[in-house]
Chain A
Amino acid sequence: MEEVISKNATNYKELLRNYMESQDEQALYGVEKVSKAFIKNNILPEEIVNLHIQAMAEVCNDLTEDYKNSMNFLLEAMIFYGLAMQEIPLLREEKHILQSEISVAASMQKTLLGTNKPEINGMDIGVISVPAHQMNGDYHHFVKGKDGSLGIAIADVIGKGIPAALCMSMIKYSMDSYPEESMSPKSILKNLNRVVERNVDPSMFITMCYAHYQPQESKLSFSSAGHEPGYYYNAETDTFKEFETRGLVLGVSPDTEYKEYEMTINKDDMVILLTDGVTECRDGDRFIESQEVLDIIKKYSDLPAQEMVENVYKHFERLQDFQLRDDFTLMVLRKNS
């Protein structure tokens, strides 16, 4: 540190002399370079003020006492800035440690919660799930039954980040322990509700929609635990209809019963499931209307389901200046035969 100061001290003094004589821009450019060298070597502000005091004493020989006193006063005022500056590398290092820990956790979460999009005859499925930060508090899961049926779960923890993500692992492992096709959406939610109620902090809630599709009968049954309502697109009438689902969020009361709904899906009909990260996208300070989501879905509805959800995501990503405020999960199921 002392070396850097003394090496640049001569330089500084010359530049200062130069500037005092001519107010030359070149001297100012020179001092910019000196100051970069100081910052790079963590030279503290009080050292620089001191350097200036010494340089001035050599450059001018008619300095007033007032000037000298004022510079000592300035030096004193710089001490705390120096202390604050010394914390920066430490904080940077801590941040780096945290970041790498989180990225390990995030990749572990991906492995733990990963689900494969299944191939189901006559059904085109598209899904996208993007976390706002590194860890995802949204969750979706597909279960393909031996009878060819498909179970679909989509869930959202109220809250974001690490606690939400930890919570989701629990949901996933509870669901894995259920016998596959034997369970109806309402009994799955009822069961999960008990798990969440017993194991999760009371301040944390989970919303979930569970759907079960039977291709032979083209029948979709579903239940919702306070989850963002999905949409049904009727190809014949070219209209969207919001699912009217009622049900308490998971984890509030131990004995909650869930209602199950049923509908028949026809060719080219779509079922859209999403989380509130989609419907609560913001355009500046304005929350978007759910109609806007449907309009955009409609706009891309000629594409295969996967391209469709990706394009819808890109649209809202751009609308929000590429900074998601909440985890974004969108799922489209289209019956194509």
Chain B
Amino acid sequence: MEPQSCVNIHKEWDIVGARQLGREMAKRLGFGTVDQARIATAVSELARNIYLYAEKGQICFEFIDNIEHRGLCMTAVDTGPGISDISQAMQDGYTTSGGLGAGLPGVRRLMDEFDIHSEIGNGTRIKAIKWVR
């Protein structure tokens, strides 16, 4: 497998593809079943956000393997409208879709590290890492 692989998101079906790639890479890195499921769910949420709000974007996976850690890094990039109030979007229970989405706080919980940059009109870039325990 390539050290980096990406999935383009513009149809709902692409969410499934992104989950699958994320899970495969997690398995290859030696994540346990529970963490594989958590990573797949986090991928799902990021991909859904792109599909619902930005229409077009990409999720890329990268192995991190050095002396200190081994882990999976995922980066979700879109060129959508951007998030105007990130603090609000990171609050529990805040989902503009009004549904039972875990949203960004959910992704942060599922992963070990989480970072977000967003610019109005230019899009959003989210990076999340899970370490192999």
Contact = CB atoms under 8 A, between A and B. Distances in A.
Nearest to B109: A86
A80 B103 CA distance: 11
B-side interface mostly? helix
Given A90-B92, A91-B92, A83 B110 contact: yes
B34 A83 contact: no
A87 B93 contact: yes
B30 interface: no
Contacts of A53: 33
Contacts of B93: 87, 91
Nearest to A71: B33
A75 B34 contact: yes
A46 B92 contact: no
A-side interface mostly? helix
Interface string B10-24: 000000000000000
Interface in A40-88: 46-47, 50, 53, 72, 75-76, 79-80, 83-84, 86-87
B37 A83 contact: no
Interface string A248-276: 00000000000000000000000000000
Contact of B102 (A72, A76, A83): A83
A75 B23 CA distance: 14
Interface residues of A, number: 15
B99 to A, nearest CB: 11
Interface in B92-107: 92-93, 100, 102, 105-106
Contacts of A75: 33-34, 37
Contacts of B110: 79, 83
Nearest to A72: B33
A83 B37 CA distance: 12
B46 to A, nearest CB: 14
Contacts of A47: 34
B34 A80 contact: no
Nearest to A50: B34
Interface in A125-148: none
Nearest to A86: B109
Nearest to B41: A79
A194 to B, nearest CB: 40
Contacts of B92: 87, 90-91
B56 interface: no
Interface string B34-62: 10011011000000000000000000000
A80 B102 CA distance: 7
A46 B34 contact: yes
A114 B38 CA distance: 56
B110 to A, nearest CB: 7
B32 A50 contact: yes
The 9 A-B residue pairs with the shortest CB-CB distance, nearest first, are A83-B102, A79-B41, A83-B106, A50-B34, A87-B92, A76-B37, A46-B34, A79-B37, A86-B109
7 contacts: A46-B34, A50-B32, A53-B33, A75-B33, A76-B37, A79-B41, A79-B110
